[in-house]
Amino acid sequence: MRYASREHAVFGRPEVGGGILPGGGGTEHLPRLIGRDRALEAILSSDDYDADTAERYGWVTRAVADAELDGFVDGMATRP
């Protein structure tokens, strides 16, 4: 599960903008999360994506308001 703050989270592959191939398996893992076409767009464009877009693409499970994020995650972690 991946949760993100609506107000503060930024997703992208900025290293491509500097001519560097994304490391850490980013080019292999991202297509599995968001699909091949969207992954290619994110990797090749070097654009930033907000949490709502990341949620819509499947990059995160849910985008949550920053003020509610800690409580939401704690609630998920302590569910029986």
- Tens digit of each residue's pLDDT (9 = 90 or more) over 28-76: 999 999 999 999 999 889 899 999 999 999 999 999 999 999 999 999 9
- How far is it, in rounded angstroms, from Cα 37 to Cα 22? 17
Q: What is the spatial distance between Cα 35 and Cα 41, in angstroms, rounded to a whole number?
A: 10
Q: Residue 5: helix, strand or coil by DSSP?
A: strand
Q: What is the CATH number of domain 3-77?
A: 3.90.226.10
Residue-wise burial string across 24-43, b where 16 or more C-beta atoms lie within 10 A, e elsewhere? eeeeeebeeebeeebbeebb
Classify 25 as helix, strand or coil: coil
The ranges assigned to domains in the chain are 3-77
Report pTM.
0.84
- Partners of residue 62 on adjacent β-strands: 3
pLDDT at 41 (0 to 100): 93
